[in-house]
Structure formats: C-alpha cells, structure tokens
Amino acid sequence: MTISINRERLINDFVQLVQIDSLSRQERKMADALIERLTPYGIEIHEDRAGEKVGGNAGNLICRLPGDPSKPTILFTCHMDTVTPGEGIRPQILEDRITSDGTTILGADDKAGVAGILEMVRVLHEQNLPHGPIVLLFTIGEESGLLGSRALDVELVKDVKFGFAFDSNGPIGKIVTKAPAQNKLEVVVHGRTAHAGVNPEAGISAIQVAAHAIAMMKLGRIDEETTANIGIIKGGTATNIVTDRVEILAEARSIDMAKLENQTAHMRECFEIAAKKFETTVDVKVTNMYPNISYEESDEVVQIAMRAARSIGFEPETMASGGGSDANVLNGKGIPTVNIAIGYENIHTVKEFIRIQDLIDAARFLVAITQAV
C-alpha cells in the first residue's frame, strides 16, 4: 500500500508539539493545541473530568471521526504528558534524527505518537481514504501512573472493538502483545522510640526491621516474566533516636497473574516475618495499578496490526514489554489493545531522540491500520 505522508508538515508539527510544556498533571496547553489542530476537520471533541480526579489542569480528550458504520470502531491512543526535565525543550533537527539540546528530554515519548495521529487525520481527509469509525484518545498523567486512562469512564468508549496505543520503544513493525500487571505495595513498619545512646534496648528500630525484611526478599529479575523492586524508603529523624516508623513503597510486576500474586505474597510475608521476629507490627497495603496484556498472534487485534505493518513493507514481530502503558488499562476496561513501537530511543533521558524516518513510518502505520480493519 502506498501511503503518502507530508514529511515537512509532520516534522514541523512534531517540533512544535515538543516545545509545548506538558508535564504530568500540567497538560492544559497541550490539550488546547490539539483541540485547535483537530477542530477544522469536523471532529467531535469531548474533554472528560479526569483532571479533576487526579489534580491536573486538563482532562483526557476523546475525539471521534465518523466512518463507515459497517466496520468496527477502532481507537488510537497516545499520552499528552512528559517526564522531567521536560520544560523549555529546544529540539534540534539533525541529518537523520531529532534530538533535544541535551539539557532536557525530547518528548518523543509520546509526542511522536501524537504527531503521527494528527498526520493520520489529515491524510485520511486529504486523500479521502475510506475507514470505519475512529476514536482518538489523548490521555493525561500516563507518566505518573497511567492516571488519565485509569480515570477514564469506559462508557465514553464502550463502542470500541479494538485499540492501538502508539507508545512503545522499538523499531517500526514491533507489536507489544504481552506486558505485565503491576501491584504497588505501601508498607508501614512500626517500631518503638527510645534514646539511641542512653537506652537503645528499650526501643525497636523500624529501620532494622525493614532491613531484615528486605534482606530476605527476592528482588530484581525474578524470572523472564516477573520483576520486583523496593523503590522508596522513608524513616528517621535523628541519629540519637531509635526510629519508630518507616514507610516503604515497592512494586511487583508479572505478565503471569499467578506469579504476580505469588511474588506479592512473598514480599508481604517477609515484612510479617521480620515484624514478628522483632515483636512489632507492620501494615501492608497492596493496590493493583493496572492489569496485564497477553495476546497471541491469532487474536484479531494482533492480526489487524500485522496486516497493517505488512501493507507498508514491514515484517511484523510481536514482543513482550516489562513496562505498563495505557494499553494495559484499556485492556482492563474490556477493549482489546496492543501497543505499537514507534522508534523513539533513550526515553526519559536528555539523550532521547527519534529518527525522522521512524516518525514518518509511524504515521504511515497509523493510516495503514485504518485500512486493515
């Protein structure tokens, strides 16, 4: 399939978008820019109240392009927010790629996807390409825990049959069909305060209890599908006081739900064993942050993406990811969704870049999916 992309327009749009500051929960300017760009195409645009729920200044944008009602409704999603340092981005256009100036991220994660969606809308309009109903979902707070998609009212997209998130690293043609669920553990280890020099034996060090628990834990890479990590530890006020409270944030992830529950139970048990040993107590709160993704090549949502890739000259390949995305949440809301690689590299660092050809091919892939349904 020959899909003509306006190269200079796409590059210019991307460069303009990355210069719009849009840290998590601060996506207002980005949302307004998208509304301005989409309005001329007669697209129905709805902004939900997700921002109010998560303490942000903008909501998710749910945008609808009418199409052939005999075809299934499909959804494309990207997130509007970026990580830090993501303010005052100054993109540099080099011979074959676009980078930041080295003092900030670039923001290709995920404004490369956003720019690709905008180009797709224009190509469908200008070339009068036939397509079914399309929903565009631009989310907030993805980088802060998938906040926007988790706050999305599924009734707003209940007619969607298949979803495609354009928000993964990897070369064009890669399709993420497996990604882990995540459990967050919020732990409070209780101790008993005492003077550390006068009568330390009267106290119970919450730091010592926490250290004992963590020393017993299986952490890092558990197996090819499972990981676990202690992320944040807070406790103590002075060296001469036995610490009576330690707060810990940890996580476990796995593509396999049984393995996730086993790892989570193991981490909880380690804290409980340590608390018992030191004759104190521990509180462990477990929250499932998002569900897993697990598809086979034979599943229709995967088949659509593979047909689209082949139609533009790429041999598709499925892959597993260790990270979560809005695709995980949409799957949990009942919308079969895969995540599509769009080529950005070194994300979340000041060395982030995207090759110009990958930017173009990602836009071609988006258009191709509309023709492959």
The encoded tokens of residue 254 equal: 């796995």
The whole-angstrom separation of Cα 47 and Cα 139 is: 10
Catalytic residue among 48, 109, 119, 142: 142
The whole-angstrom separation of Cα 370 and Cα 28 is: 29
Q: How many helices (H) and strands (E) does the chain have?
A: 10, 17
Nearest to 81 by CA among 336, 311, 326, 360: 326
> Which ranges of 278-341 would DSSP assign to H, the alpha helix?
300-311, 326-332
The whole-angstrom separation of Cα 31 and Cα 17 is: 11
The whole-angstrom separation of Cα 216 and Cα 211 is: 9
Instruction: HSE, CB side, 13 Å, CA atoms: give it for residue 207.
Output: 11
The whole-angstrom separation of Cα 111 and Cα 169 is: 13
45: enclosing H helix or E strand:
strand 44-47
The whole-angstrom separation of Cα 113 and Cα 63 is: 15
Terminal CA-CA length for the chain: 14
Distance from the Cα of residue 42 to its chain's centroid:
29
339: enclosing H helix or E strand:
strand 337-341
Please report, for residues 20, 62, 72, 151, 221, the alpha-carbon distance to residue 155 in angstroms, rounded to integers and kept in the order given. Answer: 30, 12, 17, 12, 38
Active-site residue, 36 included: no
Active-site residue, 81 included: yes
Catalytic residue among 27, 81, 256, 352: 81
Residue 348 labeled ligand binder? yes
DSSP 143: G
Helix axes 356-372, 108-126, angle to 10 degrees: 50
The whole-angstrom separation of Cα 204 and Cα 184 is: 26
The whole-angstrom separation of Cα 150 and Cα 344 is: 25
Active-site residue list: 81, 142
As annotated, the binding site for Zn(2+) includes 348
